[in-house]
A and B are shown apart, each in its own frame.
Chain A
Amino acid sequence: MAEQMKVIYERPKSWANKVTHYCPGCTHGVAHRLIAELVDEMGLMDKTIGVWPVGCSVLGYDYFNFDSVEAAHGRAPAMATGIKVTNPDNFVFAYQGDGDLASIGMAEIVHAAARGWPITVIFINNGNYGMTGGQMAPTTLLGQKTTTSPLGRTPQTNGFPIRVAEMLAQLDGPAYIARVSLDSPVNIRKAKSAMRKAFNAQVRGIGFSLVECLSTCPTNWRLTPVESMERVRKEVMPYFPLGEFKVVEGVL
C-alpha cells in the first residue's frame, strides 16, 4: 500500500530560491526565514513592502519574492513611514541592524515609534557593526572587545550599551515591543510568535511594532557558530533580557 506523503517542511513561497551571503552561524538567515514563513502564513506576500538597511542585510531584498526598497543608513523607519502613508493597506516592515537603528538612525526609530503608525521593525542586535568588520556598536557589551574598542568597551571611554526595546517601550506610540533570541530552537519558536504579534499589530491597524532579535556574529566575535550561540545565552541575555515590554490591548 502506497504511503500517504505529507509535506511537513518546505521553502516558503515568499522566499526567493537563492543562497544567502551570510556567514556560517549568523542568525540573519533565521530572522529572514521567520519573516518569509509569517508572510506566507498570514497571506501577506502580495501586499508586503520590505525596507532594507545598510549593513550585512543590505542585500536582504534579494532573498524575498515581495516588493522591497533599500534605505540609506538608519533611515528605514522614515522610508517605511513614507510608504505606509501613501499605501496604508499594504504591509510595510523595516529590517535594521544595531548600528543602523540604535546609532545613526536613533532619531528616525524613536519618532517612528512615537508616531505609533502601524509599521513593523525587525531589529537585529548582534552587538557590533558586522559588515564593516566588527566595530563597536551602541549595543556592544561592557568589556567586549571590538576593532574600535580593542581593550574592551569601558563606560569611561565608550559610554554604555543601549537597551532599545526597553527604551522604546516607554513611549506611548508603540503597540508591541519585544526582545527575543535566535540562539536555539525553542527561542526561535518564541521569536516567531513575537514576530507574528508584531505583524498582527500592523495588519489589525493597532500601531507600531518592533521585535529586537538577539543575534550572532561569529566571524567578528572570533567564535564558532556553537560558541556564538552559547555567548548569546551566557553574556548577552543577562544584559538584554528577553520578554515583551509593551503589549497594548488587541495585539495577539
Chain B
Amino acid sequence: MSNKVLMKGAEALAEGAIQAGCRYYFGYPITPQNETPEYMSRRLPEVGGRFVQAESEVASINMVYGAACTGVRTMTSSSSPGISLMQEGISYISGSNVPCVVMNAMRGGPGLGNIAPAQGDYFQAVKGGGNGDYRRIVLAPSSIQEGVDLFVDAFELADKYRMVVMVIIDGLIGQMMEPVEFKTKVDVSTLKTPEWATVGRHGRDHANIITSLTLDAPGLEQWNLKLQAKYAQVELTESRIEEYQMDDADYAIIAYGTMARIAKTTVRIARAKGIKLGLLRPITVWPFPRKQIQAYVGKLKGTLTVELAYRQLFEDVQLTLCDKMPLGWYGRGGGIVPGPQEILTAFEEQFGKGR
C-alpha cells in the first residue's frame, strides 16, 4: 500500500524537515515560501518543537545561530531578498562551526525583482554571499519528493560536518502539488547533544565557548586551515549527480532543479528525433560534481548548460570542462521558465541537428 500524500511543495518540504528531526524553526514572511513558516507554526508545537516568527531575516538567522549553538536540528527558510539579509549570519555560523539548514525558494532578481521561479542566486549560494573563506553544502532538488528525501541528508550532513547546508528550490517546486512519501522518520530522542554545545556546563569540567572571533592572525589562519581541510573532505566525498540517458549520449544538457526537470522532457523529445542527448543534473551544486562530469570528456561532442539565470551555473561548467569540448549555454531570467521545445531549439541552434 502506498503511503503517498498529495502536498504542496513548500508544505511537504517543511514536513520533510520535521521528519528529519528539525524541531526549531525561525522565519520571516516572504513570497514564494510563506507556506513553509505557516506549516511550521501549526505543526511544530504538535511534535514538541517551537516555531518563532522573527522580526526580520536578520533576526531569523541569528536565532537559528543561537539554537544551532545548543546542538539541536534547526532551520530557517526564505526567498532571495531575505536570503541576502541572512548572509552575515551564515558567515558567522560557518565561522563558528555550528550546523543548520537554510532553504532558499529562489525568485526573480536582482533587488525586489519578482516572485516568479529563478536560479539567479546560484553565485550567492555556491560561491559566497557573506564575508570570509567559507563554504556551505548546497542541495538542489528537482522534485518535491527529492526535496523531502534530501532534507534528511541536509540535516545529517550539517551535523556531520558542522556546516550550513542550503537547500535551493524555486517558486515552482514550492507552489506546485505532487504526491509525496515520507520514507525516513528521524527519532529525535536518539539525537545526542554534541559535546561542544553551549547548553550550560551541568557538571562539565570546562566552559564551552562558540565564537567566530580569533584576534591573532596565526590563530585565525590555523582556524581557516581547519575549515579548508573540512571543505576538501566534503568536496571529495559528498558531490552527487543524476546521469539521465547518458549511456550512449553524444551531447548532454547540464541543468539543476526545476530547469533539469524540464530538460528531461527535452532529452526525450530529442531522442525521438534521433538526437543522442542526455542530462547531467548536479544534485549538489556545492560541492560541484566535477569528477562525474569530467568522466565524459572524450565521450561527448558538447554540452548545453541551461539555467534560469545568466551564466552562473555555466561558470562552474566552464571551470569543470575548460576547453575539453564545445560548451553551449542557454538561459532565461526574470522569472521566465523556458519549455522543453525552447531548450531543444537552443540546442539545435548551437549544435546543429546534433548528428
A and B are interacting partners: yes
The interface on chain A, measured as residues whose beta carbon lies within 8 A of the other chain's beta carbons, has a size of 37
- Given known contacts A78-B59, A107-B58, A51 and B201 CB-to-CB distance under 8 angstroms: no
In contact, B209 and A86 (Cβ under 8 angstroms): no
Interface membership of chain B positions 41-66, coded 1 if the CB is closer than 8 angstroms to chain A and 0 otherwise:
00000000010101110111011111
In contact, A85 and B24 (Cβ under 8 angstroms): yes
Query: Is B72's CB within 8 Å of the partner chain A?
Result: yes
- Given known contacts A65-B207, A69-B210, A81-B52, A86 and B70 CB-to-CB distance under 8 angstroms: yes
Q: Which residues of B contact A58 (CB under 8 A)?
A: 213
Query: Is A71's CB within 8 Å of the partner chain B?
Result: yes
Give the CA-CA distance A47 to B208 in the complex, in Å. 12
Q: Which residues of A contact B58 (CB under 8 A)?
A: 75, 78, 107-108
In contact, B67 and A83 (Cβ under 8 angstroms): yes
In contact, A80 and B66 (Cβ under 8 angstroms): yes
Query: Is B273's CB within 8 Å of the partner chain A?
Result: no
Interface membership of chain A positions 74-108, coded 1 if the CB is closer than 8 angstroms to chain B and 0 otherwise:
01001111111111001100000000000000011
Q: Which A-chain residue is minimally distant from B66 (CB atoms)?
A: A82
Query: Is B278's CB within 8 Å of the partner chain A?
Result: no
Query: Is A195's CB within 8 Å of the partner chain B?
Result: no
> Nearest Cβ in chain B — how far from A135, in angstroms?
20
Partner of B89, one of A51, A61, A72: A72
Query: Is B280's CB within 8 Å of the partner chain A?
Result: no
In contact, A90 and B26 (Cβ under 8 angstroms): no
In contact, B62 and A75 (Cβ under 8 angstroms): yes
Query: Is B69's CB within 8 Å of the partner chain A?
Result: yes
In contact, A78 and B63 (Cβ under 8 angstroms): yes
In contact, A85 and B89 (Cβ under 8 angstroms): no
Interface membership of chain A positions 58-76, coded 1 if the CB is closer than 8 angstroms to chain B and 0 otherwise:
1101101111111110010
Q: Which residues of B contact A111 (CB under 8 A)?
A: 54-55, 59
Q: Which residues of A contact B215 (CB under 8 A)?
A: 59
Interface membership of chain B positions 198-219, coded 1 if the CB is closer than 8 angstroms to chain A and 0 otherwise:
1111110001111111010000
Q: Which residues of A contact B60 (CB under 8 A)?
A: 78
Query: Is A168's CB within 8 Å of the partner chain B?
Result: no
In contact, A78 and B66 (Cβ under 8 angstroms): yes
Q: Which residues of A contact B153 (CB under 8 A)?
A: none
In contact, B203 and A85 (Cβ under 8 angstroms): no
The listed residue with most A CB atoms (<10 A of its CB), out of B88, B199, B215, is B199
> Nearest Cβ in chain B — how far from A174, in angstroms?
16
Give the CA-CA distance A91 to B92 in the complex, in Å. 23
Q: Which residues of B contact A59 (CB under 8 A)?
A: 213, 215
- Given known contacts A61-B209, A108-B62, A111-B59, A67 and B54 CB-to-CB distance under 8 angstroms: no
Query: Is A46's CB within 8 Å of the partner chain B?
Result: yes
> Nearest Cβ in chain A — how far from B191, in angstroms?
12
- Given known contacts A78-B59, A108-B55, A67 and B64 CB-to-CB distance under 8 angstroms: no
In contact, A86 and B72 (Cβ under 8 angstroms): yes
In contact, A68 and B66 (Cβ under 8 angstroms): no
Query: Is A36's CB within 8 Å of the partner chain B?
Result: no
Partner of B207, one of A52, A64, A91, A108: A64
> Nearest Cβ in chain A — how far from B88, in angstroms?
6
Query: Is A220's CB within 8 Å of the partner chain B?
Result: no
Q: Which residues of B contact A65 (CB under 8 A)?
A: 201, 207
Q: Which residues of B contact A46 (CB under 8 A)?
A: 200-203
Query: Is A49's CB within 8 Å of the partner chain B?
Result: yes
Query: Is A48's CB within 8 Å of the partner chain B?
Result: yes
The listed residue with most B CB atoms (<10 A of its CB), out of A61, A83, A108, is A83
Query: Is A45's CB within 8 Å of the partner chain B?
Result: yes
Q: Which residues of A contact B52 (CB under 8 A)?
A: 81-82, 85
Q: Which residues of A contact B203 (CB under 8 A)?
A: 46
> Nearest Cβ in chain A — how far from B76, in angstroms?
10
Interface membership of chain A positions 211-228, coded 1 if the CB is closer than 8 angstroms to chain B and 0 otherwise:
000000000000000000
Query: Is B78's CB within 8 Å of the partner chain A?
Result: no
> Nearest Cβ in chain B — how far from A105, in angstroms?
9
Partner of A67, one of B68, B74, B199: B199
- Given known contacts A69-B209, A72-B92, A107 and B55 CB-to-CB distance under 8 angstroms: yes
> Nearest Cβ in chain A — how far from B113, in angstroms?
24
Partner of B198, one of A69, A91, A107, A110: A69
Name A residues whose Cβ lies closer than 8 Å to a Cβ of B.
45-49, 51-52, 58-59, 61-62, 64-72, 75, 78-87, 90-91, 107-108, 110-111
Q: A49-B198, A65-B201, A108-B59 are in contact. List 12 more A-B contacts (CB 8 A).
A: A46-B203, A59-B215, A61-B209, A67-B199, A70-B96, A70-B210, A72-B62, A82-B24, A82-B52, A82-B67, A84-B66, A87-B200
Name B residues whose Cβ lies closer than 8 Å to a Cβ of A.
24, 26, 50, 52, 54-56, 58-60, 62-70, 72, 74, 88-89, 92, 96, 198-203, 207-213, 215
Can you give 20 A-B contacts (C-beta < 8 A)? A47-B200, A49-B200, A68-B208, A69-B66, A69-B69, A69-B96, A69-B198, A70-B96, A78-B62, A79-B66, A81-B59, A81-B66, A82-B70, A82-B74, A86-B72, A91-B200, A108-B58, A108-B59, A110-B55, A111-B55
Nearest 9 A/B pairs, CB to CB: A82-B66, A70-B211, A78-B62, A79-B66, A82-B63, A111-B55, A75-B62, A82-B67, A47-B200
